């Protein structure tokens, strides 16, 4: 939008543009305070205008409309301009209504915010609607100043001509200025409606900078002994501080390839399709469902906790025919029970949770894959809370899809869901009759991005670069320790914890040790005890996290996590010491 500026000759009719006596210089340079129009707000007019206008000169600002004026109790550009740029004696002319707004001082006490004053003589200014928001600043000197965004500041003389044109109408005045402006060899301004996104059309900020972000971030140090996330080793944190690379840079691709090799070791698979979904364990579950299931496919879900329930919900959303086999919370499924359900439902997919973190149950997986092959069923396993803490053999056990989360035993920050698809699973994906409806979770795209299909990588999404660094280092630590030692450490620490809890007179939620996952121990809350008081005691006094139950175990148990970096004898003893204190309170 063009913006015209004219300095008013003192002989102009006072009925049209009048102003109070010129205030002192200091009173204009320091506008009176107002709660509605703070003096600290940034300038709203072009800085090029200001040197040419003496602060004591009465001015008129001309704008297109005032539709936003105080409709929501907030001042708009025009009223802010009167208050902040004009000071006392400035007038605001609305070109689509015979109206003036003024910041003239009150006759009673002190200045007032701009108020509306009808001026009938404004109707004599014909054609003003053609201005579309051009601004006129008027002074007593009879010089014309014209400003257009992107151009220089120009000055014109000839007060008699300007005064006469103003009397005949504002449009004629602007046209004359355009003509003189062109005669000066400059580009003629435009008084058309401003394009979207220009400074003159852009709305003013109404959401201010949050005060909380002006303070340094506050992150206390806590020991996370709940069911996840677990604390990460310093070496993992240091890896995240490495310089960022592009998500398809050759150096980053090399790191992705190293991550794949570490995941193959962790999953114990030689499958080509091993990669990560950017997200948490839920992303792994969703990727499993949307790739393996087509509308109407039957999926059998072994449900004995919240993650079986969550899987059933997701599968339903993907249009599958969901069948469930259920056990009480904390119990697990036998091979005979699973085979009977497979024979009855003949599903395309069987879904199992190896480590049910809501109850602390450990579902045996060995032998299930052979049953699934017998019934032409794919086996999908949720190993979010268990992988790395207990033995897992994807290839030897005949698992077709397995996923986990980086924030559990792996001990990297929560950010990705490592996942692996067998050849059988990828054959099912290739034979789909319907498209995979989620582009983000499409395993064919993910496999390509992670270099699993032998085809040059294409852009799928921007991977979490720093998180991949962290996962690479976390997997390196797993390899340095070895899976056998990692499994043994979790078993030994869990045993120590279980024995210590028994010595405190507490009962475990799962009585059969063979059915307990070592990574998440569930403890029955004694009758009449408020479980939240204990978890609050852990946190407020020692900055140690343990959690309550989840899903079917909510309100019934405490859950203590022994995962990866946090799974140490010292941490077990610390939990037992704090638990004893809390129970004595």
How does pLDDT run across 220-245, given as a tens digit for each residue? 999 999 999 999 999 999 999 999 99
The span from the CA of 320 to the CA of 318, in Å, is: 6
Mean pLDDT computed over every residue of the chain: 77
Give residue 432's pLDDT. 97
**Phi, psi at 247, each rounded to 5°:** -70, -5
* Cis peptide preceding 45, ω within 30 of 0: no
Instruction: Give the per-residue pLDDT at 201.
Output: 66
Q: Which pLDDT band, with edges at 50, 70 and 90, does 574 fall under?
A: very high
pLDDT digits (tens, 9 = 90+) for 390-447: 999 999 999 999 999 999 999 999 999 999 999 999 999 999 999 999 999 999 999 9
Q: How many CA atoms lie within 13 A of 167 on its CB side?
A: 11
Phi, psi of 178 (to 5 degrees): -60, -40
Rg (CA), the chain: 37
What's the sign of the alpha-carbon dihedral 303, 309, 310, 313? positive
Q: 392 with 542: CB under 8 angstroms?
A: no
Task: Report pLDDT for 198.
Answer: 59
Query: Is pLDDT at 112 greater than 90 in this prediction?
Result: no
234-481 against 483-584: fold identical = no
Q: What are the pLDDT digits (tens) for 454-511?
A: 999 999 999 999 999 999 999 999 999 999 999 999 999 999 999 999 999 999 999 9
Which pLDDT belongs to residue 202? 81
pLDDT at residue 33 in the model: 36
Closest CA to 355 of 475, 519, 553: 519
Among candidates 264, 246, 320, 265, which has minimal Cα distance to 290?
A: 320
Structure confidence at residue 175 (pLDDT) = 57
Cα torsion for 506, 508, 511, 513, to the nearest 10°? Answer: -110
Domain residue ranges in the chain? 3-183, 234-481, 483-584
Beta bridge partners of 3: 147
Nearest to 318 by CA among 351, 355, 293: 293
Confidence check: pLDDT of 30 > 80? no
280-291: per-residue pLDDT in tens? 999 999 999 999
Give the mean pLDDT of 192-220. Answer: 80
pLDDT for residue 26 is more than 90 = no
Q: Is the pLDDT at 156 greater than 50, yes or no?
A: no
Separation between Cα atoms, residue 300 and residue 352, nearest integer Å:
9
Domain boundaries 483-584, CATH class: alpha beta
pLDDT at 140 over 80: no
Query: Residue 479 burial (CB < 10 Å; 0-12/13-18/19+)?
Result: middle
pLDDT of residue 136: 39
Residue that wins the pLDDT comparison between 26 and 525: 525
Question: For the chain, what percent of residues have pLDDT higher than 70?
Answer: 66
Top-confidence residue, 122 or 250 = 250
Q: d(Cα 63, Cα 66) in Å, to the nearest integer? A: 8
Domain 234-481 class, CATH top level: alpha beta
Q: Could you report the per-residue pLDDT of 197-208, keeping only the tens digit for each? A: 555 568 899 999
pLDDT of residue 585: 85
**Per-residue three-class SS string for 116-143:** EEECHHHHHCCCHHHHCCCCCCCCCCCC
């Amino acid at each position: 939008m063009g913006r015209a500026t004219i300095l008013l000759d003192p002989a102009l009719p006072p009925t049209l543009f009048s102003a109070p006596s010129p205030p002192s210089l200091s009173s204009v340079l320091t506008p009176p305070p107002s709660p509605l129009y703070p003096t600290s707000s940034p300038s709203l007019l072009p800085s090029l205008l200001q040197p040419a206008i003496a602060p004591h000169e009465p001015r008129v600002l001309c704008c297109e409309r005032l539709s936003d004026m105080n409709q929501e109790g907030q001042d708009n550009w025009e009223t802010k301009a009167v208050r902040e740029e004009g000071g006392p004696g400035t007038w605001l002319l609305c070109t689509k209504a015979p109206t003036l707004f003024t910041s003239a001082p009150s006759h009673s006490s002190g200045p007032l915010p701009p108020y509306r004053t009808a001026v009938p003589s404004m109707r004599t200014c014909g054609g003003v609607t053609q201005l579309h928001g051009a601004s006129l600043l008027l002074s007593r000197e009879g010089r014309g100043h014209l400003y257009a965004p992107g151009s220089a500041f120009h000055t014109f003389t000839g007060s008699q001509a300007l005064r006469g044109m103003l009397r005949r109408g504002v449009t004629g005045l602007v046209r004359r200025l355009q003509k003189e402006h062109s005669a000066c060899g400059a580009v003629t301004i435009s008084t058309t409606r401003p394009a979207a996104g220009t400074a003159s059309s852009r709305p003013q900020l109404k959401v201010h900078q949050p005060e909380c972000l002006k303070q340094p971030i506050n992150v206390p140090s806590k020991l996370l002994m709940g069911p996840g996330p677990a604390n990460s080793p310093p070496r993992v944190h240091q890896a995240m501080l490495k310089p960022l690379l592009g998500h398809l840079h050759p150096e980053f691709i090399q790191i992705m390839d190293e991550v794949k090799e570490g995941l193959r070791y962790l999953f114990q698979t030689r499958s080509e399709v091993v990669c990560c979904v950017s997200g948490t364990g839920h992303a792994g579950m969703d990727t499993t469902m949307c790739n393996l299931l087509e509308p109407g496919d039957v999926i059998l879900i072994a449900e004995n906790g919240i993650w079986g329930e969550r899987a059933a919900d997701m599968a339903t959303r993907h249009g599958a025919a969901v069948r469930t086999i259920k056990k009480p919370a904390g119990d697990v499924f036998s091979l005979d029970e699973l085979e009977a359900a497979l024979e009855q439902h003949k599903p395309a997919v069987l879904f199992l949770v190896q480590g049910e973190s809501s109850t602390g149950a450990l579902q045996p997986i060995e032998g299930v894959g052979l049953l699934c092959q017998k019934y032409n069923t794919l086996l999908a396993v949720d190993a979010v809370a268990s992988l790395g803490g207990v033995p897992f053999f994807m290839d030897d056990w005949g698992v077709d899809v397995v996923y986990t989360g980086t924030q559990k035993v792996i001990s990297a920050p929560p950010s990705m869901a490592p996942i692996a698809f067998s050849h059988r699973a990828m054959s099912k994906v290739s034979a789909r009759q319907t498209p995979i409806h989620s582009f983000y979770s499409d395993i064919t795209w993910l496999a390509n991005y992670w270099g699993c299909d032998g085809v040059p990588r294409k852009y799928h999404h921007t991977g979490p670069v720093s998180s991949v660094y962290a996962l690479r280092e976390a997997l390196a630590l797993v390899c340095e320790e070895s899976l056998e030692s990692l499994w043994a450490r979790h078993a030994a620490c869990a045993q120590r914890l279980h024995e210590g809890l028994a010595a405190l007179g507490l009962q475990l939620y799962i009585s059969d040790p063979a059915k307990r996952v070592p990574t998440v121990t569930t403890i029955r809350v004694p009758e009449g005890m408020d479980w939240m008081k204990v978890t609050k005691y852990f946190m407020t006094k020692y900055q140690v996290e343990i959690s309550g139950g989840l899903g079917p175990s909510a309100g019934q148990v405490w859950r203590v996590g022994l995962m990866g970096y946090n799974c140490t004898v010292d941490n077990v003893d610390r939990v037992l010491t704090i638990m004893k204190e809390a129970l004595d309170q």
